[in-house]
Amino acid sequence: MFSINIQNLSKSYGDVQALKNVSLSIEHGELFGLIGPDGAGKTSLLRILATMLLPTSGTADLEDCDVVTDYKKIRKMIGYMPGRFSLYTDLTVEENLQFFATVYGSTIEENYHIIKDIYSQIEPFKDRPAGKLSGGMKQKLALCCSLIHLPKVLILDEPTTGVDVVSRAELWEMLKNVKNHGITIIVSTPYMDEASLCDRVALIQDGEFMSIDTPQAIVDNFEFKIFEVRTANMHKLMADLGEITFVESVHLFGQYVHVTFKNNDVKSDKLNSVLLDKKHSEIEIREIKPNIEDCFIHLMSTQK
Amino acid sequence: MFYSLNVNTEMSSEGTIITVKNLVKKFGNFTANDNLSFDVYRGEIFGFLGANGAGKTTAMKILCGLSAPTSGEVSVAGFDIYTQSELIKRNIGYMSQKFSLYEDLTVYENMRFYAGIYGMKRKDIKSKAEAMLLNLGILDYKDKLVAEIPLGWKQKIAFSISIFHEPKIVFLDEPTGGVDPLTRRQFWSMIYDAAHRGITVFVTTHYMDEAEYCDRVSIMVDGRIAALDTPIELKKQFDVSTMGDVFLKLAR
């Protein structure tokens, strides 16, 4: 059986449909990423799974328990870390951990093994009020508090939003370790580059899944050849590319422009000669592998 | 659209719009900004990067005239931070992802409110607002409540409003957080247009691909500027292929 099983789930707030008939199954011990921008429906889905929000229609099961009828059972076996820091800022690090362990009828000692790697990094500050921790340390404490009762499923709502690259890398390291304990993890993020760190991902936009697969398969299924292009005058390049008839899409990606052609038989030489005609210099054109963000943008424009 | 400035790093001081010399800001025993010195050139897109807690927000508040340094010299748009902070505020624009527009006002009411604060005349506001919305292709949003507008548009409108009064510099504090990848690119096109028109852009971001769009990037670590150069030079200097790797090498 699946750890999480979602069937035809919808959620509406008045006229706004936050989730439109979505279905998804997640295996035990899977690290699953929910990837999409603000307003895509990520938080609504996670809050339904955490039994904090009722679906409008459809069903969702966690470990064979229904989120509506068996919510009491589910609450005991999940760890939930909301997007906003939600620990007691006036309690110390250790008091927060103690509190969460006690609420779930456990003790710090009983499950220390699961948080040891993470907690050891903040243990030197265990007598400091949680409100006085740095952003990275707050997050480590929140993760410890959501794990201390040894949940079967860990639900994380945008743990890396607004967090710097170093702390983001650390968090994903920690999640990998949690996964090694056999805990199912569902994590949402607006950062497309974090997809590759998940076993499988769902790309979500406007309340719908555009694709559910392994990050590798999503990239492999991208049907177009994609080229990164750069010339001495990028401003002119963007404008010129937009006017070339055999060019399908043009998007800025760091210091390059990613370009696809309407027909995969078009060779990069053809683009090169057009750009030469348009007086471009220092032309670089290279075929590259698409990344998740290329795929996301492509799916956004084709599924609308 | 995309505009690549060929930054002349030997620009004279006439081309400098922000000058920071030996800036120190202390909170009690804690030194948030530890002897910062850097210049920002007129019309450039200056990326201000750093780990959480590195001191970015503190420095940005000082540059916006909202907080006084403990010591050091700072001049913004030709005005001194200690004696002319009100003049600085008039000559800058500011936008952040966290706070941008009033949700319960219409788009036009927001424009009128912000432009009014900056002393623009009502008549000018009306004609300019309509021209701006027309240019963005969203004239029909004019009388809609901000709360009813798609999220991606809110950010783009907020940016447009932050430069509505034609400031010399606009400060953007994580302007694209959580925005979808298409909107993020459209947003950067707008930033390039603004820079093209001569508005200096001072921007913070956690998206490392966005660091590549900047003319120059500074990276703060523990209250100091650990590196400052063009993205291409920084990648060369640290012998890596992305700005993300430069950041990791410096901040870890």
Q: Which of A160, A188, A253, A255 best probes binding to B when mutated, by most B CB atoms within 10 angstroms? A: A255
Taking the alpha carbons at both ends of chain A, their separation in whole angstroms is: 34
User: Is B179–A37 a contact, with Cβ atoms under 8 angstroms apart?
Assistant: yes
Q: How far is A239 from chain B (nearest CA, A)?
A: 7
Residues A115 and A169 in one domain: yes
| Cα–Cα nearest to A142, from A176, A162, A115, A161 | A115
**A190/A257 same-domain check:** no
Is the same domain home to A166 and A286?
Answer: no
Quote the minimal CA–CA distance from A73 to chain B in Å: 33
Is A221 within 8 Å of A268 (Cβ atoms)? Answer: no
Residue B13 is predicted with a pLDDT of 47
Same domain, A169 and A232: no
Chain B CB contacts of A301 below 8 Å? 182
Q: Which of residues 125-144 of B touch A (CB under 8 A)?
A: none
- Per residue of chain A (304 residues), give pLDDT as tens: 899 999 999 999 998 899 999 999 999 999 999 999 988 999 999 999 999 999 999 999 999 999 999 999 999 999 999 988 889 999 999 999 999 999 999 999 999 999 998 999 999 999 999 999 887 889 899 999 999 999 999 999 999 887 888 888 889 999 999 999 999 999 999 999 899 999 999 999 999 999 999 999 999 999 889 999 999 988 889 889 989 999 999 998 888 899 999 988 888 899 999 999 999 999 999 999 999 999 999 998 887 6
- Report the distance separating Cα B77 and Cα B19, nearest Å: 9
| Cα–Cα dist B195/B193, whole Å | 5
Alpha-carbon gap, residue B234 to A140, rounded angstroms: 31
Alpha helices in chain A (DSSP H): 42-49, 71-77, 93-103, 112-122, 135-147, 165-179, 215-220, 234-241, 268-277, 292-303
> Is there a contact between A276 and A283 (Cβ–Cβ < 8 Å)?
yes
Instruction: Examine residue A179 and state whether it is found in any structural domain, yes or no.
Output: yes
Kindly list the residues of chain A whose beta carbon comes within 8 Å of any beta carbon in chain B. Answer: 36-40, 134-136, 161-167, 169, 190-192, 205, 233-235, 237-239, 251-255, 257, 293, 296-297, 300-301
Burial A123-138 (b: 16+ CB within 10 A, else e): eebeeeebeebeebbb
Q: Which domain holds residue A238?
A: 226-303
CB nearest B185 (choices: A163, A165, A251): A251
User: Closest chain B residue to A189 measured between Cα atoms?
Assistant: B178
List, as ranges, residues 146-175 from B with C-beta within 8 Å of A: 150-152, 174
Inter-chain residue contact B185 with A293, CB threshold 8 Å:
no
What's the CA gap between A164 and A160, in Å, rounded? 8
What distance in Å separates the CA atoms of residue A272 and residue A270, rounded to the nearest whole number? 5
pLDDT of residue B1: 40
Same domain, A141 and A178: yes
Chain B residues whose CB is inside 8 A of the A235 CB are 1-4, 192, 196
Q: Are residues A64 and A174 in the same domain?
A: yes
Residue A220 lies in a domain: no
**Do A180 and A150 reside in the same domain of the chain?**
yes
Q: Point out the residue among B2, B206, B251 whose CB comes nearest to the CB of A163.
A: B206
B1 contacts A239? CB cut-off 8 A: yes
Q: Tell me what ipTM this predicted complex has.
A: 0.77
Q: Which residue of B has its CA nearest to A239?
A: B1
How far apart CA B101 and CA B98 sit, in angstroms, is 10
Query: DSSP letters along A180-216, please?
Result: TTT-EEEEEES-GGGGGGSSEEEEEETTEEEEEE-HH
State the smallest CA–CA distance between residue B91 and chain A in angstroms: 27
Structure tokens at A75: 């609450």
Contacts of B174 in chain A (CB under 8 A): 162
A200 and A256, same domain (yes or no): no
Instruction: Clarify whether residues A141 and A198 are in a common domain.
Output: yes
Does residue A70 share a domain with residue A111?
A: yes
Count of the separate structural domains present in chain A: 2
Per the domain annotation, does A149 fall within a domain? yes
The domain ranges of chain B are 102-166
Residues in chain B closer than 8 A to A191 (CB atoms): 207
> Can you give the CATH number for the domain in which A59 is found?
3.40.50.300
Whether residues A164 and B231 touch (CB distance < 8 A) is answered with: no
- Element spanning A258, H or E: strand A256-261
Domain final residue pick, A172, A195, A215: A215
The segments of chain B whose pLDDT lies below 70 read 1-14, 99
Chain A residues in contact with B212 by the CB 8 A cut-off are 254-255
User: Domain ends where: A215, A250, A267?
Assistant: A215
Within a domain: A262: yes
Q: Choose the final residue of a domain: A193, A215, A237.
A: A215
| A221 domain-assigned | no
State the best of A16, A125, A140, A164 to mutate against chain B, taking most chain B CBs within 10 Å.
Answer: A164
Count how many pairs of residues, chain A against chain B, have C-beta atoms within 8 Å: 98
Q: Answer yes or no: do A142 and A234 share one domain.
A: no
Closest-CA distance, B6 to chain A, in angstroms, reads: 9
What's residue B99's pLDDT?
67
Contacts of B242 in chain A (CB under 8 A): 254
Q: Assess contact for B34 and B24: CB atoms under 8 A.
A: yes
Q: Are residues A150 and A283 in the same domain?
A: no
Report the CATH number that the domain containing residue A256 is assigned in CATH: 3.30.70.100
Angle between helices A165-179 and B243-251 (to 10 degrees): 80
